[in-house]
Amino acid sequence: MSAASPTTTAIRSSPWRRSRAAASPSAIDKPVPAFALPALEGGNGKRLASEDLRGRVALVNFWASWCAPCRTLAPTIDAIATQYAGKLKVGKLNVEENGDVPMRYGITALPTLLILKGGKVAEQRVGLVSKDVLVRLVNDQLV
């Protein structure tokens, strides 16, 4: 089963290493670390760099295939991607295949959702989040 949909793109690179220590307990208000990932929206194959998100809002779902709550949250993320197409960049980052990126954000539990705005992490949520709560979090950042 794939966790990516036509409106989101799975993001892949290197294996997750559970033994790594977290960089920080929370990434809120910290600058977005430099990265270059496949496009978060549209699946057009264009790479998206952290500097491309300056002044934009993005939602990144950190997940793993063995994580039951992550699989439960996947349809909600897909619905948000569809609802906010063109307004919000949405991506799903598999932590097993992207070991370096989660560590830069201090992510130690799954699922973790980050809302990036203005080059910084504006919101961070760990665990299952209802669609209503996620809509409110996104709307707060889009204003």
Residues marked active site are found at 67, 70
The dihedral built from the CA positions of residue 22, 41, 48 and 4, taken in this order, carries a sign that is positive
Closest to 60 (Cα-Cα) out of 6, 127, 10: 10
- The residues facing 94 across adjacent strands are 63
Pairing status of strand 112-117 against strand 47-49: unpaired
Nearby residues of 118 by Cβ (< 8 Å), 6 or more positions away: 54, 55
